[in-house]
């Protein structure tokens, strides 16, 4: 089956997009060194969290999304600490 109905696509897209942003943020975390690079990581996690929060409760991914928000928040906090630079 190649074509999905638009509503299904919309729901899974937000989740998939959030996961993609998180993967991107995680990859950037591996190489981030300067406060500016960490700020980029922070913004990626923020976008991933924001997207996860838009996953509707009717979505089959809703429960996973709620867990991911908590997980991403921890990663965001870690990135924020690094973005201020080490004294």
Domain count for the chain: 1
21 is written with which tokens? 């942003």
Is 46 part of a structural domain of the chain?
A: yes
pLDDT single digits (tens) 47-85: 999 999 999 999 999 999 999 999 999 999 999 999 996
Residue-number span of the structural domain to which 32 is assigned: 6-83
pLDDT of residue 86: 59
pLDDT of residue 1: 44
pLDDT of residue 24: 97
pLDDT of residue 18: 96
Which ranges constitute the DSSP H helices of the chain? 6-31, 35-53, 62-83
What's the burial of 40, exposed, middle or buried (CB within 10 Å: 0-12/13-18/19+)? middle
pLDDT of residue 11: 52
pLDDT of residue 50: 97
Contact 35, 81 (CB under 8 A): no
pLDDT single digits (tens) 3-52: 444 555 555 589 999 999 999 999 999 999 999 999 999 999 999 999 99
Sign of the torsion angle spanned by Cα atoms 24, 38, 54, 74: positive
Q: What is the pTM of this model?
A: 0.83
Residue 63, domain CATH: 1.20.58
Is 1 part of a structural domain of the chain?
A: no
**For tokens 């991911």, what's the residue?**
68
């Amino acid at each position: 089956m190649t074509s999905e109905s638009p509503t299904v696509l919309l729901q899974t897209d937000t989740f998939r997009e959030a996961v993609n942003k998180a993967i991107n943020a995680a990859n950037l975390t591996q190489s981030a060194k300067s406060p500016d690079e960490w700020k980029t990581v922070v913004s990626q996690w923020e976008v991933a969290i924001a997207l996860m929060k838009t996953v509707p409760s009717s979505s089959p991914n809703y429960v996973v999304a709620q867990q991911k928000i908590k997980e991403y928040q921890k990663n965001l906090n870690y990135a924020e600490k690094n973005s201020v630079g080490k004294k």
